[in-house]
Amino acid sequence: MNKFFELIENVDLFGVQISLLTNNKGTNFQSRIGGLISVILGSVSLAYSLYILVLWTENNIPPNINTKQQTKGYAEFKWSEPLIFLSLQDFTSSVDPFRNQNNIITPLLFTLRNGVIKDKPIALFSDSLLPYSIILNNGTLILNNGGQNEQTEEMQEYLLVLASCQNDYLQDDGYCADDNTIQEYISIYHGFLDITIRLNQLNYQNNKLETFQKTYYQAFDPKRPIYTQVMLKQQETIIDDGILFRNEKSQQFLNNYEIINQEVDNRFIPHAIQSMSENTLALNISSTFLFRIDNISIVEEVSMPKLGSVLAQIGSIVDIIFLLQYVAFYYNNKLLENGLLHDIVTMYYPEFKILKPNLINKFMINEEINQFQISNQNIQLKYLTLLKGAKEKCRLNNILYEISRIQFILEQQFGNSILQLSHQQGRKITKDQLEQVCDSLQESNYLVVKPIDLSNQEIKYPYDEPLTILIKPQ
The vertex-31 CA angle with 27 and 35, nearest 5°, equals: 105
CA distance 372 to 381: 13
Please name the helix (run of DSSP H) or strand (run of DSSP E) that holds residue 210, with its range, or none: strand 208-219
271, 162, 251, 262: which is closest to 207 by C-alpha? 251
CA distance 87 to 155: 28
CA distance 23 to 113: 97
CA distance 69 to 425: 93
Alpha carbon 204 to its chain's center: 15
CA distance 36 to 322: 13
CA distance 87 to 316: 55
Q: Is 229 exposed, middle or buried (0-12, 13-18, 19+ CB in 10 A)?
A: middle
CA distance 56 to 335: 42
- pLDDT computed for residue 455 by the predictor: 45
CA distance 26 to 16: 20
- pLDDT computed for residue 109 by the predictor: 94
What's the start-to-end Cα distance of the chain, in Å?
Answer: 46
DSSP line for 270-297: HHHHHHHBSS-----EEEEEEEEE-SEE
Please name the helix (run of DSSP H) or strand (run of DSSP E) that holds residue 142, with its range, or none: strand 139-144
Q: Which amino acid is at 460?
A: K
Q: Is 8 helix (H, G, I), strand (E, B) or coil?
A: helix
CA distance 95 to 165: 14
CA distance 379 to 431: 52
CA distance 323 to 303: 32
CA distance 381 to 368: 18
318, 330, 339, 320: which is closest to 34 by C-alpha? 330
Please name the helix (run of DSSP H) or strand (run of DSSP E) that holds residue 439, with its range, or none: helix 431-441
Whether 78 and 136 have beta carbons less than 8 Å apart is answered as no
DSSP line for 89-138: E-SS----TT-SEEESEEEEEEEEETTEE-SPPEE----SSSTTEEEE-S
CA distance 390 to 410: 25
Q: Is 282 helix (H, G, I), strand (E, B) or coil?
A: coil
CA distance 117 to 386: 108
- pLDDT computed for residue 16 by the predictor: 38
Average pLDDT by stretches of 10, the chain with 474 residues:
58 43 51 70 81 85 88 91 93 87 92 90 90 93 81 89 88 87 86 93 87 93 90 92 84 93 88 84 86 93 86 78 70 76 84 72 61 68 83 82 87 83 74 64 50 48 49 53
CA distance 386 to 397: 19
DSSP line for 57-84: HTT-SPPEEEEEEEE-SEEEEEE-S--E
CA distance 110 to 121: 5
Residue 231 DSSP class? E
Detail the DSSP E strand segments found in 294-419. 296-303, 356-357, 363-364
82, 130, 135, 132: which is closest to 105 by C-alpha? 132
Whether 24 and 340 have beta carbons less than 8 Å apart is answered as no
CA distance 446 to 307: 67
Q: Is 206 helix (H, G, I), strand (E, B) or coil?
A: coil
